[in-house]
Amino acid sequence: MRFNMLTSITDGIMCCITGRALNVVGAIDSVESSDGYDYIEVKPGRILRVKHIVPSRSAAEEEEERKENVAVEEEGEGGEVSGKGVVHCKRKISVYRNGQVVIENLGDVIRSEILHCQNGNTEPGSTVEIELSDANITSPQANGAVLEQGSAKRRKRKPKKTVVIDCKKRITSCKGTHSDVALFFIHGVGGSLDIWKEQLDFFGKLGYEVVAPDLAGHGSSTAPKIGAAYTFYALAEDMRAIFRRYGKKRNILIGHSYGVSFCTFLAHEYPDQVHKVVMINGGGPTALEPSLCSIFNLPTCVLHCLSPCLVWSFLKAAFARQGAKEKQLLKEGNAFKVTSFVLQAMMSGQYWPEGDEVYHAELTVPVLLVHGMHDKFVPVDEDQRMAEILLIAFLKVIDEGSHMVMMECPETVNTLLHEFLLWEPEITATEQTEAKQTTENK
């Protein structure tokens, strides 16, 4: 640690003298696949490392999948059980000039399961109020009479913006034997695809096709030397390119921390191709903007001198325990190797005004929220607020986990993710009635 600190100080002084940002990630010459890694040039000179696992499927597995597809088609033709796994997503979102948002669920809404906080998602026909100024949420179950009276008064006013969502989503089980399913894992600031090692191994062995990219400047991806290369929009376009290259008919997006924002972006842009989303310690449904008072606003050379302290602070804040196992996780592979320049550019580039509460409320894809109870970066009430706003959401709180919960508790996280992939909603009463009426009319 002392040697690393002296090296960092020396490098920092050289950075100040030369005026150049240090960058240990060099350009990648080859774009060919090797050892399960692809090197994708998303833009000229902008190359991302991608872990791509394509499992081999036996003839028996392919035949089983074919029979399942035939069974689904026959169910749809019969009409009696055509509503199985189908959710009628219908909600009205009204935004008023005083910053108030009113969300009315009018269709079939699956109740959220929230551990440690029993404020489930709203039932069909109910209303959720959100104050954008302080992000307070008034639960309709708490005081229904007052809410109903207040909502009636507000309906007399003309909202500044109204969004109506009306669609039917077929949500099915996603098994590893399904050739039309792909899992995308997206890491956050300062990490790399190596933080998903346990998840990639687990789901790869189960027969899933897995895709995990390194963000620009992270892991073994190239690191452009201009700050504009690390804005939210630049990184989001990178993820769009990766998604379009590897995407299947049904895609599951798994994001951690800042990576959750890119999953939300893709789910919003490709609602028919994104089947389910997992958000791990992603925070609340608020628009992103860089903090004006942050240590990352210091000059790059100063940050480089402080890098050993930053690593120590990250260890204390990101892991529930700071034992030998956690320290080893920080040292293994390329998991947390990122330059001070990239780190600073990433933090200052987190500007995404469109990603507000309304943007998240428009999502119709099922979402699993995973939160480590000891997370010092993202408080649990932010994920609670996310669960309230999302149409179909399940919040799971892991008591022994923190911000890097997928590394601390891999078995628990893997089990939760797998159960969510296999989850399929039962036919609702409304859909069953509609199916019977359709059959009678025929």
Kindly name the residue from 257, 261, 307, 340 that is annotated as catalytic.
257
- Cβ(439)–Cβ(79) below 8 Å: yes
Kindly name the residue from 52, 187, 403, 418 that is annotated as catalytic.
403
Residue 27 identity (one-letter amino acid): A
The kind and range of the H/E element at 405 are: helix 405-408
Known catalytic residue at 88: no
**Where on the phi/psi map is residue 160: left (φ > 0), alpha (ψ -120 to 50), or beta?**
alpha
CA-based radius of gyration for the chain: 23
Known catalytic residue at 268: no
- Cβ(428)–Cβ(88) below 8 Å: yes
* Helical H segments across 182-299, by residue range: 197-205, 232-246, 259-269
Tokens of 379: 């408080």
As a whole number of angstroms, the distance between CA 312 and CA 323 comes to: 12
Kindly name the residue from 38, 194, 214, 375 that is annotated as catalytic.
375
Strand partners, 303: none
Residue 213 identity (one-letter amino acid): P
* Helical H segments across 28-181, by residue range: 59-78, 144-155
Give the list of residues 6+ apart from residue 203 with CB closer than 8 angstroms, or none: 176, 183, 210, 414, 417, 418
As a whole number of angstroms, the distance between CA 161 and CA 288 comes to: 21
CA count, 13 A, side-chain hemisphere, 203 = 35
Known catalytic residue at 375: yes
Catalytic residues: 257, 375, 403
